[in-house]
Amino acid sequence: MLKGKDDFCEVPDLGSLKQEGKFRLVYMDYVSGKPVDSRVLEAMNPYHREIFGNPSSLHLLGDLPVEAVENARKAVADLIGAKDPKEIVFTSGATESNNLALKGVCFRNQNKGNHLIISAIEHISIINIAKYLEKFGFKTTSVGVDKYGLVNLDKLEKQIRPETLLISINYANNEIGTIEPIKEISKIAHDHNVLLHVDAVAAEGQIPIDVQKDGIDLLTLSSNDIYGPRGVGALYIKSGTMIEPIIQGGGQERGLRSGTENVPGIVGMGKAAEIAKKEMESDSARIQKMRDRIINTVLDTIDHSYLNGHPTLRLPNNAHFRFDYVEGEAILLGLNMRGIAVSTGSACAAKRLEPSHVLIATGLLKEEAHGSLELTLGKYNSEEDVDYLLESLPQVIDRLRKLSPLTPKEE
């Protein structure tokens, strides 16, 4: 039942549990965390023990990691269409990248202004960074969205002031999957001489991103969201963009992110970016086919079920529903008992009892938002996984509705 009993920690052997018929394991929470691609692990391995030198060292074992880091930088730049690999700064993850983008721009340019604009459905890390900046005299405006989660462009432009430094909008929402009109937002920002930061964590590796064509000044990326290792991320910073570092030290990453480079992790992110660029189109097409089957079947077979997010302008792996008369957490637990891993919203806010701020921003009532279920597929899902979900979900919903005092009584 357990592997590695003599190791530091014991690891559950999920494979043996499945073979023993204990449960069928289906993972549909890829937005919260992805497994690392085996090819990525293979690329990383030499940099743990064989090529372990510090890139700042002036000898051969320091030169080899430098070359590996620069190759990874080029691969990440190629994934997003960056003009120069030097525009990529490696970080410890998306949250640090968001901090560097928002704080870096605001603190570096506070002599020019003190105002930033975000959308009402940004990731909680963006929202909390904006709140932090307010302690230093910066002002934040949150722009509303329509019922699908699309940013209102007219309202966005009207909120721009002479002192506005930055607009930060997610490329696609991590909960409901809606893809934002980034090119149009970029034009509005640049027409008013305002920088545009885009959190692309939910979108990267699923849909094409081109920072030059999209007119993006800063772009946040995460390694694990393209099947790379956790604890690594990157921030694209367009050449000429003035930004202040938030971590001081030895001056690594062009002085913008000090600290000894996580070489194995960076190599892993580079390999993951390389794979994503080659396989994204075919993977996304296959995943979207499964997603569409889920959406169509659920809406056709389960009464009082609704799709959250835009019906077509959505990420290929995202199916986000709400169901009347039941709680999302109860659905999650019911599916979990059948071995199906899903979510009710962002993993970063999963322990909060409040309904999703994203769903509330789209106009749902609190009781409606509480009945939400988020399914996010990945490249390791199969049609058999979909079969099992579509067999299990109606049974779970039916059972919960029979127990719920909110369900209308049949006459």
Those residues with Cβ within 8 angstroms of residue 37's Cβ, 6 or more apart along the chain or in another chain: 227, 228, 271, 272, 275
Digit-coded pLDDT (tens) for 264-301: 999 999 999 999 999 999 999 999 999 999 999 999 99
CATH number at residue 154: 3.40.640.10
Residues 271 and 142 in one domain: yes
Residues 53 and 108 in one domain: yes
Residues 97 and 201 in one domain: yes
pTM of the model: 0.92
* Domain contains 124: yes
Q: Could you report how far apart the first and last alpha carbons of the chain are, in Å?
A: 50
Give the per-residue pLDDT at 9. 55
Residues 303 and 229 in one domain: no
Count structural domains, the chain: 2
C-alpha gyration radius of the chain: 22
Give the per-residue pLDDT at 2. 38
* Domain contains 408: no
Domain that holds residue 47: 39-275
Answer yes or no: 9 catalytic: no
Residue 206 Cα to chain centre, angstroms: 11
Q: Per the residue annotation, which of 348, 349, 360, 390 is the catalytic one?
A: 348
Alpha carbon distance 77, 211 (integer Å): 9
What residue ranges of the chain have pLDDT lower than 50? 1-6, 8, 20, 346-350, 411
Give the per-residue pLDDT at 4. 43
With b meaning 16 or more CB within 10 Å and e meaning fewer, what string describes 254-278?
eebbeeebbbbbbbbbbbbbbbbbe
